[in-house]
Amino acid sequence: MEGLFLDARYDKGVLTLYFLSNKIEEINVKAHRIAYIEPTSIELYNVLNKLSFIYEIMEEEWFLPPYYDFKRPIIKIKYLGSSKFIKRIEENGLGVHVNNFPDEINLILREKSLRPGYLYDTNTLEMRDSDDPLYKLPEIRYAYVTSLNKYGKEASWYDIKYYKVSINNKDDFVIENIEELYDIIKENEISIVMADVNSLNEIKSQGFILIQKPLVGIYGLIEWSRISGLTLRQASNSSIGKILTSAEALEAIKRHYEIKKVKRVEPWRKLGDMKDADRAGATFIPKPGVYFNVYQLDFSSLYPNIIVLNNLSAETVNKNNCIKYEINAIGHKVCFDKEGLVPSVLKRLIDRREKIRPYKKDLIFKERFDAIKWILVTGFGYLGYRNSLFGSVSAYESVTYIAREIMKKSYEISNKNGYKVINYIIDSLFLIPENPKIDIEELSETISKEVNIKLRVEDKFLWLVFPYTERCLGSAGRYYGLKDDGTLKIKGINAVRKNVPDIIKYAETNALNVLKKASNKEEFYNLLIKAKESYDNVKKELINGDVKEDLLVISKSINKIGNTQQVRASRILYGLSDSISYIINSDGNPIPVEFYEGNYSKEYYLKYLERSEIEMPWYIINKNCNTS
């Protein structure tokens, strides 16, 4: 029988494997624990040979970081029992524990040739799958469990009123007691339950796999498992950065690159050289205003492609022992003797995503497509992250320099061909055809050929607004507009921010829905008065006390101690929770929703609406922004 390998546990010499076929099937196999130790003393061999619980000792040749120029012997041991002896070996200066990322169980699975997210014959444990990104999966019955408060918003631990259970994103159930969940799971033959943190602690796994609700859907999570080698449970509990680093670790092990955190020392540089090199990618501060007939062009995976095309990896930049190399304009020497580790991983992900792209209208492929996108977005940031196993500042600086040059070329080509650039941010350009010499598709193709990275026409806007910020400037990441398909695209403003009360979102979206009827400049300006009236009506409702309580709730995470509203509100609960939902009462104090008694601060919410109004187009047109 075929089964989808999803999860594993190890305990006392037994590896328990979890497969999904018609239901979750558990298979137990005997397995040894595995550890790699880099010797720092010849005495290590004598010590290991005296330990009776060690089953096998092997010596393997591995390339040493940071540049993987030279090999040295690393000891691989298979054993049973406690791993405390490894710590003692390190404390006594006999060796260093290496290749221990992401976790020991991943080494054990690799030893057994088992890869999470793949299909296997559950009798022989032989793989029945391939690396084709269009792989087929058996039917998966899954459920999302979300804890909600009395306002129907995601609850904190203290104000849970009921739970929403969603089956395969189709059928929803509302339950008051978590015990009711088990009947739903049984009746609907659920194999995988994904729950938020509050629900997770209350559910007991009974014939199903229980995991934390991930950032992506179940099919995206399986894609992460296939890419990273992490089990479903590991992937659901991991940051996107860990997913990426785990995928890089798989490639490192394949190449016999030792996995060990090493300090990469930057060379001394002149202040002027650092000023030129230590800069971010290209960004622009757009002029606040309303624009018409605007195109948005997006580079396809700009930063990952830069890394791939220029072979930028920790071990390829400023490497001394190199034959084929280039020195870039900011002084970093990039080696091309061998494909870098990071570029090799990102290239596979880029190719994989492009193969999935034509099928992404299907939910399963859309989740896979988006799951890969999240990893690619992280790829650049982790290249310069100081705690990254496979990153370096020099490689990071090289990427941002090339990105700036690409955006500069794109800007020049656009202007040359009669297009005005009104904004650019990271990997996007916003253009208005003033005196176009070629059409927009030809322009995107021209730029693509020049920079060797695909540039696509992402959207056409009938109208687009870059609003004021609190400092009366524009912001590259804040905009909203009406696309030519009749839908609104909203980025960065209060209408779509998570920590903003719904009354603000309600006011802004009401106004934008009025303007949604405008398909040209004349219609837009004719509807402005009506849009402002719609916004002002919310103010009147607030003053008259006609606002529903659920619109007043503010939900924020508590990530540090301080005198912020969310921390003051949490103190009422005699401690700090990970998140808090509260309403500002008539005394101006933040009150957790569980203790709110129905008297809100009209002054607070009215001022919030007035501050938020700075994002609306009539403010821009009247040019009455001030920072006072």
The HSE-up count of residue 581 (CA atoms within 13 Å, CB side) is 25
Q: How far is the C-alpha of 405 from the C-alpha of 414, rounded, in Å?
A: 14
Contact between 574 and 564 under an 8 Å Cβ cutoff? The reply is no
Query: Of 72-86, 308-322, 401-415, 570-584, which gets the smallest average pLDDT?
Result: 570-584
Check residue 173 and give its pLDDT: 93
Q: What is the pLDDT of residue 560?
A: 47
Mean of pLDDT values over 99-128: 96
**Contact in structure between 319 and 395 (CB atoms under 8 Å):** no
Q: Which two tokens stand for residue 140?
A: 């998966």
**Residues ≥6 apart with Cβ < 8 Å to 75:** 36, 37, 38, 39, 44, 45, 48, 57, 58, 59, 60, 95
Which residues touch 480 (CB under 8 Å, ≥6 apart)?
Answer: 464, 465, 467, 488, 489, 490, 491, 493, 495, 512
Q: How confident is the model at residue 558 (pLDDT cuts 50, 70, 90)?
A: low
How far apart, in whole angstroms, are the C-alpha atoms of residue 176 and residue 179? 9
At residue 596, does pLDDT exceed 70?
Answer: yes
DSSP state of 549: G
Residue 453 within a domain: yes
Residue 415: give its domain's CATH number.
3.90.1600.10
pLDDT tens profile 321-371: 999 999 887 788 999 999 999 999 999 999 999 999 999 999 999 999 999
The range of the structural domain enclosing residue 300 comes to 271-482
Residue 402 placed within a domain:
yes
Residue 389 lies in a domain: yes
**What per-residue confidence (pLDDT) applies to 159?**
82
What is the DSSP code string of 256-306? Answer: TB-------PPPP--HHHHHHHS----B--PPPEEEEEEEEEEETTHHHHH
Tell me if 499 is assigned to some domain: no
Contact 174, 163 (CB under 8 A): yes
pLDDT over threshold 60, residue 573: no
Cα separation, 513 vs 507, whole angstroms:
10
Residue 298's pLDDT is what?
A: 97
User: So what's the pLDDT on residue 273?
Assistant: 54
> Buried b vs exposed e over 54-92: b needs ≥16 C-beta within 10 Å?
beeeeeeebbbbbbbeeeeebbbbbbeeeeebbeebeee
- pLDDT category of residue 89 using cuts at 50, 70 and 90: very high
**Residue 282: pLDDT above 90?**
no
Strand pairing report for 71-79 and 142-148? unpaired
In a domain, 589, yes or no: no
d(CA 231, CA 7): 5
Q: Which phi and psi angles does 502 have, rounded to 5°?
A: -65, -25
CA distance 167 to 146: 12
Which residues face 73 on adjacent strands? 61
| Token output for 540 | 């009147």
Asked if residue 458 has pLDDT above 60, the reply is: yes
What are the pLDDT digits (tens) for 300-328? 999 999 999 999 999 999 998 999 999 88
Q: Are strands 289-299 and 325-327 parallel, antiparallel or unpaired?
A: unpaired
pLDDT in tens, 173-210: 999 999 999 999 999 999 999 999 888 888 998 889 99
Token pair in block for residue 337:
């003797």
Task: Map tokens 């940051």 to a residue.
Answer: 239
Domain count for the chain, please give it.
1
C-alpha pair distances (Å), 587 with each of 571, 573, 608? 17, 19, 16
Q: Please, are residues 553 and 583 in contact by the beta-carbon 8 Å criterion? A: yes
Instruction: Check residue 276 and give its pLDDT.
Output: 56
Q: Is the residue at 383 inside a domain?
A: yes
Please give the pLDDT value at position 235: 96
Asked if the structure places residue 497 within a domain, the reply is no
Residue 467 placed within a domain:
yes
> Average pLDDT over the chain, rounded to whole?
91
Q: Over 90: is that where the pLDDT of 49 sits?
A: yes
Q: Which residues pair with 329 in a beta bridge?
A: none
